[in-house]
Structure 1
Amino acid sequence: MKLIGSLTSPFVRKVRIVMAEKKLDYQLVLEDVWGSDTILKMNPLGKVPCLVMEGQDSITGAVFDSRVIVEYVDTLSPVGKLIPERGRERCEVRTWEALADGIMDAAILARQERHWPHRSDTQRSAAWEDRQLAKVHAGLAAMSQGLGEKAWCSGSHFSLADISVGCALGWLSFRFPEIAWRETHPNLARHMDKLSQRQSFIDTPPTA
């Protein structure tokens, strides 16, 4: 399998961590979604990550959107089941993932508003950026409340919920160091410190 992505994307990192935890082999193909049309050949939306099945070279052999990819990948190996199969537990893990993804979506929009080179300073909207960052802070508060003093986000063991939270927190530290979530939410800081000791997190830091 080939995973098309970038080293900066938190969504690509989520898939890479899941692949590592499942002990699956794949080839990482780095692409710049802003500077290359290659990704469009596999994903008409022009987004990463995109997982390409072995021996395939067209959209029909591709799986895209990180949530779809990780759900598929979790079925490929019995090692370290990350998503419960059914019921309330499954819903809880996927809700944690949706919360973490929502934080990342909002933060990315805020960063694009602030730094996108094809927009002049007079075209940038501080109100739009503030609106997105308000979602980030609300999401962090919800994460902190949901985690409380538990060892893991959902249930009694490591799951996709923890991976998603770790990717969101890691990307915020990478791109928005001024958001002092460690000081505001010390339980999230402790959880991130624990996640950061896993080899899958050690091997996938976001880099420019």
Structure 2
Amino acid sequence: MKLIGSTTSPYVRKVRVVMAEKKLDYSFELDNVWAATTQVHLSNPLGKVPCLVMEDGSALYDSRVIAEYLDTLTPVCKLLPANGNGRDRADVKVWEALADGVLDAAVLVRLERTLRPQEQQSPQWIARQLGKVTAGLQIMSEKLGDSAYCMGKNYSLADVAVGCALGWLTFRFPEIDWRGDHPNLARLHDKLAERASFKDTVPFEA
């Protein structure tokens, strides 16, 4: 398998963490979707990363689709409950959607600030997106409570998604004091940061 992505994308990081946890072999092909030389559109018509190219040349895209597929490939470190446990599985996916939603809003703010001239930026629109980030972090904190992991005692895809979201906020939005506002999220993030899968995928500018 070949994963097309970048070292800065939190969605790509999620997939890389899952692949590391599942001990899956793959090649990693760097692609900057904002560069004129980008090639990911040849595999993903949406021009987005991550994109997982299979042995037969077909491709999977969207980190949630890829992560769910990868979890079926090996019983090592199951990250999603078995299909028979529908509610727990849905709860994990809600955690993932919440973490990705926080990222979606924050990414839009970054794009507004970096791609649009300052005089054309909308402070109201930026504030609206940052409000989603704040609200999402608050719900994450409330749902986590004093639990060891997002789903209680068991490490899951929910923790992967939340850990990648928090790591990207630290990387791109150091001014957001989510650690001070939500110490329980900080404890979770610090615990996840000790895992090899997270250590090896810390975001950086390639």
| TM-score normalised by the chain length of structure 2 | 0.96
Q: Deviations over 1:79-111 (max 9, x none)?
A: 011011231110110000000000000000011
Cα distance in 1 between the residues matched to 2:131 and 2:18: 29
How far 1:131 moved relative to its partner?
0.6
Cα RMSD of the aligned pairs, angstroms, is 0.8
What's the CA shift for 1:17? 0.2
Correspondent of 2:157 among 145, 160, 165: 160
Q: Is 1:113 equivalent to 2:118 in the alignment? A: no
Deviations 1:108-160 (A, max 9, x none): 001111111xx222211111111110000000000000000001101421000
Q: Does 1:45 align with 2:42?
A: no
Runs of 4+ in 1 over 6 A off after TM superposition: none
**Quick one: distance in 1 between partners of 2:117 and 2:156?**
42
Q: What pairs with 1:28-177 in structure 2 (closer than 5 Å)?
A: 28-35=28-35, 36-56=37-57, 61-86=58-83, 87-116=86-115, 119-177=116-174
Letter of the structure 2 residue corresponding to residue 107 of structure 1: A
1:53-101 Cα distance to aligned partner (Å, 9 max, x none) = 0242xxxx00000000001000011101101123111011000000000
Q: Distance in 2 between matches of 1:133 and 1:193?
A: 23
Residue of structure 1 in register with 2:27 after alignment? 27
Match of 2:179 in 1: 182
Counterpart contact for 1:15–1:66, Cα < 8 Å: yes
Q: Which residue in the other structure is 2:5 paired with? A: 5
Structure 2, gaps ≥5 residues long: none
The answer to which of 165-174 and 77-86 deviates more is 77-86
State how far apart, in whole Å, the 1-side matches of 2:152 and 2:60 are. 28
Asked if the contact 1:89–1:155 (Cα under 8 Å) also holds between the matched residues in 2, the reply is no
Give the distance between the partners of 1:83 and 1:64, measured in 2 at CA: 19
Q: Secondary structure in 1 aligned to 2:60?
A: strand
| Distance across 1 between alignment mates of 2:118 and 2:76 | 50
**Structure 1 regions of 5+ residues with no counterpart?**
none
1:30 aligned partner, one-letter code: L
For 2:38 and 2:30, locate their aligned partners in 1 and report how far apart those are by CA, in whole Å: 12
Q: Distance in 2 between matches of 1:189 and 1:121?
A: 32
TM-score, with length taken from structure 1: 0.95
Q: Which residue of 2 aligns with 1:191?
A: 188
Partners of 1:178 and 1:113 lie apart in 2 by: 17
Separation in 2 of the partners of 1:81 and 1:190? 23
Question: What is the letter of the counterpart of residue 43 of structure 1?
Answer: N
